[in-house]
Amino acid sequence: MTKEVLLPVSALPQPADATNIKARAFAEEKLSHMTLEEKVLLLTGQDLWRTNPIKRLGVSRIKTSDGPVGVRGGIFTDGVKTASLPTGVSLAATWDHKIVQRVCEVLVAEAKSKEVDVLLGPTVCIPRTPLGGRNFEAYSEDPFLTGKLAGTFINSIQSAGIGACIKHFAANDQETRRFFIDEKIPDRALREIHLQPFQIAIRDSNPWTLMTAYNKVNGVFCSAHDFLLREVLREEWGWDGLAMSDWFGTNSIVPSLKAGLDLEMPGPVRRRGKHLLEAHSKGLVETSVIDASVIRLLKLLYKTGKSQIPDWQEGQEQATDLPEHRSILRNAGADGIVLLKNSASLLPLQNLGGKKIAVIGPNAARSVASGGGSSNLEPHYRTTPYQSLKAEILKLYPDATVETQQGILTHRYLPLVNPAVMKDPVTGGNGFVLSLWRNMTHSGEPFMVEHRPSSNLVCYDGLPPELTTGERYSYRGRSIITPKTTGVHQFSLSSCGPGKLFLDGKLLVEIERRWWSPKSALFMSYGSPEERVDVHMEAGKSYELLLESISREPKPYDLTFMDMLEREEVQDGGRIGFLENPGNFDQHFQDAVDLAKSSDIAIVVVGKDHEWETETSDMPSMSLPGRSDELIAAISKVNDKVVVVNQTGSPITMPWESQVHTIVQAWYQGQEQGNCLSDVLLGAINPSGKLPITFPQRIEDSPPFDNYPGDNDIVHYGEGIYAGYRFYDHRKIQPLFPFGHGLSYTTFEYSNIRLSSNVLACDGSGPDQIEVQVDVTNTGDREGKEIVQFYVSQVSTPKLSRPVRELKGWDKVSVAPGKTVTARATLDRVSVSYWDDSIHKWVIDGGAEFKVSAAKHSRDEGLAIQFLSGNSVEWVH
């Protein structure tokens, strides 16, 4: 017998119902006084980050900001400094709801200091390939872990009156051709893998807003996907928040609105506005459809507190760097660091008195706070592994010696001009003076003069609206460059429109046409490929560096042409790179090896950065950039006490893995990255992080290898439901490091697994939840935290094929030496169900045998115990 069960449309905690009722009343009252033109205006952005106000009715605007690894505020480039958090994958590696809550305290404070109403995060798409440029921003390859942590993130943000925006709906998991790609995803894979983190988070937290993805899913752009937005999101899941487009990601007028896309971002208006009014006049869209979206926006306005603030003028954004925030981020970062290998027990580093410690590598003495793109921002401060390790080591062991060598260069583009060698010719401070004219000839007085702290001269933020939607302009960026050394230096230029780079009046680089190139050094790929030139310069001599350019030629906005090449409004400007005296690369390499040879311990800090792992560009390979692998191998031959620290947000290949005893996965930890690493390496904190993603041995072993990045803008999700660790289990492929793996400075043993019931009956005939418990004993000599993972497997033959095991619970417990504590998790209908694409419902096989395993990682058999399901059950939500 099969029983159909309908789940509640939302698990939203109540008293929130009272808020919803008041929000609805406010929205309906305001709507009743609005003209059609005002309603349509509300459904578009005013500028890059804000919605439109209706001053006549005292309706304020909503301010959004990126998120989710910091609150940038209202300026994309060179804005107010802010707290830089551990990235999403690092937070997921903590497997810790409390840490997510504490980190959100920082985000809430930062949002309030910058008057931000909606934070654009969390990112919950599943990292499909190790090459994904935005993997660092997401949480995990597992939808359960992702959805649960995202729910905690959203609840924590929204409980303080700041809206969260879960994104990108759905399956925005590759940057290659992301504006064009059509993802062919089987129904089961869509439901069980790519929609499930959204479903779990929405069920647990009810986010106020959601952002659609750029890509197509099964032939339809996500911004107008009637099945995803209306049938699944609103009808099946019962969600009634505000859906907004990704920036410049609205691909239609009427279809998107009818599907349930409420807000087109950013502004000024592009697709909607007069075009939506015209569609309404022709009967193509009903007033009720427009009203429904306006109601949702006004309800959001009420929830964020803006209904009480009719003043649409904002105060000045503040940079508030608090000691308590530093502490939270330092602890959060350290708890996300994963000890992958410690076979010689080299860590934690102890008894360093009189020892010489080498901190070597391309990331050793620089801050690699985050990946690139919309997550990138300017931290309150930066720390580096070398600085932090040296400070802490000398504090503990004053007679120790700590030295560093870079060894190799791994930059994808020439670095931005070092602030120490450039001077604004007007203010005398570090940076450039940027002048802009409302003509294409740089003639007359500039209409705007700005002082920029970096050589990334983006012209978008703060421009008058007419200059962001078509009117052309020209600009110059000037700085005085005084190199520290004599020799051949390198300059580079990547420019959006035609541009010329001069040094003391001599033309160095000329870019003659407008560009859109995936090889551009500029964000959103709106620029030329980087062009480099060698220049001989003298130490201490000052040179005038000048970028002279004009904005790109806009094209008529074609409502039927979706190609992102035509969206000329995204960005303009240029990026100037400068590398002083690159010198003898082989000598730098040898200097690093020699330092390692003469040292007692060598800490090699490698990885990638915001140029390699970034929005708009996937990575070319899983390998570390440059000669990183060669450097590690060479150092391991001259020193047998090597600690390899990897800073990436995605898996890498490790051809040197068997040659070293100690490997640490450090991710991107934001402003506290150096201090986090120091705490773990020196033993101030016992590492407890575990991998939220699988590290394959090679790219050929990864699930989508045969189906990425696609052909002719179509990619088939051939791995189906076997994503992440499910694939490696299914194909019996041994990963380099499995999902859930992570070591500690102590050891743990599991025992006495047990269940509250041996039957999970979801049809009302018995318990619809059962609790699994296991005892965890600390068998080492120091306190530590253990993440016990509970995997569920269907033992009896299911009607449809299923993964070998799936994560359905976890518990992070702290255990003192010699003590035993109990880890527990609750299993319910979601833990044992699968999507049956023949009937389009979730299904539990009746009388099926299951087992739940308490394991240390996905390949660990652990301790297992069996239970039965009750009668067959089917449901939609």
Give the whole-angstrom CA distance, residue 529 versus residue 494. 6
The alpha carbon of 582 is separated from its chain's Cα centroid by a whole number of angstroms, namely 32
Give the whole-angstrom CA distance, residue 75 versus residue 92. 28
Number of CB atoms found within 10 A of residue 435's CB:
18
* Dihedral (CA of 404, 408, 411, 416) sign: positive
The alpha carbon of 23 is separated from its chain's Cα centroid by a whole number of angstroms, namely 31
**Is 246 one of the catalytic residues?**
yes
Closest residue by Cα to residue 843 from 875, 814, 871: 875
Give the whole-angstrom CA distance, residue 855 versus residue 742. 12
> Would you say how long the chain is, in residues?
877
The angle that helices 97-113 and 323-336 make with each other, rounded to 10 degrees, is 140
Which DSSP helix (H) or strand (E) runs through 871? Answer: none
Number of CB atoms found within 10 A of residue 762's CB:
24
Give the whole-angstrom CA distance, residue 111 versus residue 109. 5
Percentages (nearest 5) of helix, strand, coil residues in the chain: 25, 25, 50
Q: Vertex 379, ends 375 and 382: CA angle to 5°?
A: 120
Give the whole-angstrom CA distance, residue 476 versus residue 317. 27
Question: Would you state the structure tokens that stand for residue 1, as one six-digit string?
Answer: 């017998």
CB 414 within 8 A of CB 577: yes
Locus of tokens 């996500």: 222
Number of CB atoms found within 10 A of residue 400's CB:
18
CB 669 within 8 A of CB 333: yes
Give the whole-angstrom CA distance, residue 4 versus residue 20. 30
Residues in CB range of 221: below 8 A, 6 or more apart: 214, 215, 251, 252, 562
Locus of tokens 């419902």: 841
Closest residue by Cα to residue 630 from 665, 598, 597, 589: 589
Q: Which residues pair with 118 in a beta bridge?
A: 64, 163
Work out whether strand 872-875 and strand 64-65 pair parallel, antiparallel, or are unpaired. unpaired
Residues in CB range of 658: below 8 A, 6 or more apart: none
**Cα dist. 241→208, 256, 303, 651, 709 in Å?**
5, 16, 11, 35, 33
Q: What is the identity of the amino acid at 508?
A: L
CB 703 within 8 A of CB 741: no
- DSSP assignment of 436-484 equals EESSSS--SS-SEEEEESSSEEE--TT--GGGTTT---EEEEEEEE--S
Sheet containing 182-184: which strands, arranged edge to edge? 220-221, 216-217, 182-184, 714-716
Task: Choose, from 246, 335, 572, 679, the residue flagged as catalytic.
Answer: 246
- DSSP assignment of 600-648 equals SEEEEEEE--TTTSBTTB--S-SSPSTTHHHHHHHHHHH-S-EEEEEE-
CB 572 within 8 A of CB 528: no
Tell me the CA end-to-end span of the chain in Å, nearest whole number: 20
Number of CB atoms found within 10 A of residue 466's CB:
11
Residues in CB range of 197: below 8 A, 6 or more apart: 124, 125, 126, 139, 143, 144, 146, 147, 150
Catalytic residues: 246
